[in-house]
Amino acid sequence: MRHPVETEAGLVEGIPGRDHALTVFRGIPYAAPPVRELRWRPPQPPPTWPGVRAARTFGPMCPQAPNSEIAGIDLPMSEDCLNLNVWTGATSTEERRPVLVWIYGGGFRVGTGASPRYDGEALARRGLVVVTFNYRLGAFGFLATPELSAESGHHASGNYGLLDCVAVLRWVRDNITNFGGDPGRVTIAGQSAGAGAVNFLAMSPLAQGLFHRAVAQSHARHARDPELRYLATSYRTLPDAESAGARYAEERGGPSLALLRSLPWQKLVDGDAAVDSMVETGSSAKPPLFRPVVDGWVLPAGYDETYAKGLQNNVGYLAGNNRDESGAVPESTFAAYRTAGEKAWRPGMPPVHVTLDDYTAAAHRKFGEMADEFLRLYPAADDDAAGRAHSAAVRDNARVSTFLWGTDWARHADRPVHTYFWTHRSPAGGQNPRRASHSSEIDFVLDNLDQDDAEWTAEDRAVAATMSGYWANFVATGDPNGPGLPNWPPYSPDSATVMQVGEGFGPVPVAEPARLDFWKRFFRTQQAW
């Protein structure tokens, strides 16, 4: 697509990708700058522009504290950050290629759609149109106050970041045909908080009909799993969010909404790592303060009520977890974690228990009357055994939780569900030793190994080819299977298995029978979320 492409706001012209058969469009505004009176309002249509806009460079990042997610990305920060990027190999507007809309993670606190990890070129070569974008973060994306709710017309506030996601999906619906995309085959996908956003959009009536498939990489969990309460799947009730937001506004020197909107963004960004200490999680972990809100409008209900009543959007789903995340760590890292203690902790981060005393105390806190049974199923007699038992329990927790989520989800949805467990150890990000850590699958799913200067092996590249093939097939057809790929059976509530991907490809049990029974009974004792 070398010629200018029409959007509702004006013409845009992209540039060739590294593969000159592809065209990349960067920094296209999808909404008006959310500044001054538009700060903490739903996104408004972008202003039109005359002539042809050169879409050659990524737009600014949304305001956020300096962090590892954006380290090395040479882009300014600005509230004028609601922009998106498109990769396409289409040569005509008559083509109808499946569309992948990628939502970045980062705990709803950090991130940018311009990250090299999310480069869409490899999947565009597989026939997709790939879209990445920025959405508002921290206080800018998730502040709720009584005054904001009163002015909204819906008695709702706090979900501006999710409303940005909805605005992108509406932009895709209205414009993607001109980039060779098919507005009738749109998949939303994300990892961590991006997966959380996918889950929330799947529960939002505002997103109904705007996408047809969903991919949640880490954090599709059973509604009674206490992990939901602090991971990127966590949410707040509107009264709690309004109360916390009012306190935050007072602390920032903006007791009125008018004053708060007059403050420079730099005075607001330092609060985006605030902790919500009021949530009982069954552990020392706590969620970030700023995160989505069950407000009765964007999110009418929480997970349990949504699934029980069948209120979710009826879309195909692919979801899974990683071997070394949610507090599970390789044995070779135990000593380092013991040395670090809680120094590296941040909101939304799960605890890691690698000493016997810590492991035993955490078990009693989380499982209460069931703690002795838990410790018999996951026994430990010394520190190293405790670290191994903790990691085994975390992995079982995640697999069983996602399996039970699938049962709840599928009860009122008739599109296929596929679940996975990622096990391939990656060197990305300087990981030594390698591990299948949180977010490590992204490089393989998007086939972006060359965006990181790690020492990739031929095996890594073969795994990336398989993973990106599965994801491309799912986006195109709703089924990850295709020629040359190991068979991936769909989820079934009658088969407690999950598709292992990475160190081998094929179904494995979600847990040993006695442990599976334990987790089912434990979840039944927990508050529905």
Q: Which residues contact 197 (CB under 8 A, 6 or more apart)?
A: 103, 108, 135, 161, 162, 165, 188, 190, 292
Q: What is the C-alpha to C-alpha distance for residues 159 and 40, in angstroms, rounded to an integer?
A: 9
Containing 460, the helix (H) or strand (E) segment is helix 458-477
Q: Is residue 257 within 8 Å of residue 144, measured between CB atoms?
A: no
- 115, 149, 157, 192: the catalytic one is 192
CA distance 301 to 529: 10
Active-site residue identified among 69, 79, 227, 325: 325
Whether 262 is a known active-site residue: answer no
Rounded to a whole number, what is the distance in angstroms from the first to the last CA of the chain? 46
Could you confirm whether 438 is annotated as catalytic? yes
The H helix count followed by the E strand count for the chain is 16, 16
Task: Report the length, in residues, of the chain.
Answer: 529
Tell me how far apart the alpha carbons of residues 199 and 378 are, in angstroms, rounded to a whole number: 31
The residue annotated as part of the active site, out of 390, 438, 439, 468, is 438
Question: Which stretch of DSSP H or E encloses residue 214?
Answer: strand 213-217
Rounded to an integer, what distance in angstroms lies between the CA atom of residue 472 and that of residue 222? 27
> Is 192 a known active-site residue?
yes
The b-or-e profile of 211-224 (16+ CB within 10 A means b, else e) is bbbbbbbbbbbbbb
Q: Which residues are identified as catalytic?
A: 192, 325, 438
